[in-house]
Amino acid sequence: MDTRIYVMTHKKLEQIPDELYIPLQVGKAGKEDFGYVGDDLGDHISEKNARYCELTGMYWLWKNVRCDVIGVCHYRRFFVKEEKLLSRDYIEHKVRKYPIIVPNSSCVKDADAYEHYAKRHYAKDLDLCREILLKKSPEYAAAFDFAMETILVSVGNMWITRKDIFDRYCEWLFAILFEVEKRIDFSGYDDYQQRVMGFLSERLFRVWLFMQPEAVWEENMKLIEPSEFSNAEKRIDLIYRYVKLKIDPVLRLYKSDAPRKTLAAPFCCQDDFHGKIPVWVCWWQGESEMPELIRRCISSLKRNLPTEKTELKLITLENCMRYVTFTDTVIRKFNEGKITYTHLSDLLRAELLYRYGGMWVDATYYVARPIQPDIFAFPVYTLRFQKPIWEADITKGRWSVNLWHTASGKKLFSFLMESLWYYWEVEEKLIDYFLADYVIAVAKEAFADVKNELEQCVCTEKSVFDLHRLMNCKYTPERMEQLQKNQTFYKLNRHAGYRKANIAGEETIYGHIVSLHHCKE
């Protein structure tokens, strides 16, 4: 598929970190040449840029470019996902289902979109625009009036779509704007108000969208310079080097020939788990203080564990010291509020998995189907992904810190445990929320056996977040059945505000899960 995203610019840009994005110099006629493709070749209106803004670039694309999918963004406004430019794969996959991708709608602070325009520009131009619209496309009259009465607008003339749809819009748009331009008296308009055709087109875009049969998808749009797209990777690299430096004494000890497996003191636990594999879940406040979602998640885990070989263990603040040996420093800094419950959980899982092995499952995982026994055959098991879920993430999809299975005594978890202990011995503040992931990244780089064990885990192409995205959707047996087929573990968010019924009073997937588990209890 021939997909191109054009970046409208009137100035020299720093290099954009993706060749999919092509700088297009707008208003290039008679201006300094920056070495980019310009809107002054072939059939063009480049000389109208002062009035038409980025629309001179759109006109040029309409008349001179042939491709399958085309997009328009600006030198400092881009579509982003997880702080990254939209990738070719993402765009081409999305366009198959949603042929029109637009920025998230913005809300005006005035009474409606018409008043918003009238306070900033000349209302007579918008009225003239409606007059021309009624003559050229009378079927759009109701859509125009509706768009003006709402508080939603689409800014920037940015979008991504199939080229045939793009051409269809441009033919409609420029037929109106060229006629409006003929009838506007520009005398008295300053440089800002001279850009009237660009301002009008932003309002007309929503009018046109209302009348199209294709599905529309909104993406996040961010004001950002091209140079800033590498900031996330730079930040990750800096934090990684900082963490590696801070835990260097532990790292050097593990790389030495010292005849010991760990500095951790021996610890005797009376619980033998009845000869079964422990499955660890933590809710610090205890069962009586569990939110409903957590109860349903833990209930789903219980129901889908192979009971003949596993035993579920709920860890709380009250019983944790039966199983682990937090250092005095860790306990003190937790009591001082420097270590949160979340990061105490990182210390907890590392020590539990090192000392006893077994499975660790975060309390916000919903288990949709029986857990397969082959998971327990891996020396180390975690969720891995062929493609990273988030680009700006130290894990890069190589492990999931919230779900593990391991035999006891593994180097990965002793190193994680002791590195976290040591970090809190020398530090007063948390450098990053994902500190444990940075330590695991150090271990994977430093130890060939750790790397090998992690890479033995089979990658999954499925998304652990599919259920989260569907929780407030209407429940159907077919949809739930498909979710159960696709994935065993689904990560949920206890702060997401899942609802048991939609606005029509119909049961949602979350509502079904709640009622299902009530019946099972």
Q: What are the tens digits of pLDDT across the range 129-175?
A: 999 999 999 999 999 999 999 998 888 899 999 999 999 999 999 99
- pLDDT, average across residues 91-114: 93
Q: Which CATH number fits domain 232-461: 3.30.10, 2.30.30, 3.90.550, 3.40.720?
A: 3.90.550
**DSSP code string of 58-112:** HHHHHHH---SEEEEEETTEEEEETTEEPPHHHHHHHHHH-SEEEEPPEE-SSSS
Cα–Cα distance measured from residue 163 to residue 184, given in angstroms and rounded to the nearest whole number:
31
Residues 6+ apart with CB under 8 A from 96: none
> Residue range 450-468: average pLDDT?
87
**For residue 391, pLDDT beyond 90:** no
In the predicted model, is pLDDT for residue 71 greater than 80? yes
Range list for CATH 3.90.550 in the chain: 232-461
- Residue 384: pLDDT band by 50, 70, 90 thresholds? very high
517 has a pLDDT exceeding 70: no
Query: Dihedral of the CA atoms 388, 392, 393, 395 (nearest 10)?
Result: 50
Mean pLDDT value across residues 229-234? 75
pLDDT value of residue 267: 78
pLDDT at residue 520 is higher than 60: no
Whether the predicted pLDDT of 287 surpasses 60: yes
State the average pLDDT for the chain.
92
Q: How does pLDDT run across 297-309, given as a tens digit for each residue?
A: 999 999 999 989 9
Average confidence (pLDDT) over 195-216: 95
For residue 265, what pLDDT is reported? 73
Share of the chain above pLDDT 70, in %: 97
Confidence of residue 261 (pLDDT cuts 50, 70, 90): low
pLDDT band for position 231 (cuts 50, 70, 90):
confident
User: Exposed, middle or buried by CB within 10 Å (0-12, 13-18, 19+), for 74?
Assistant: buried
* Mean pLDDT along residues 311-338: 95
pLDDT of residue 59: 97
Mean pLDDT of 48-71: 96
Mean pLDDT to the nearest integer, 105-117: 92
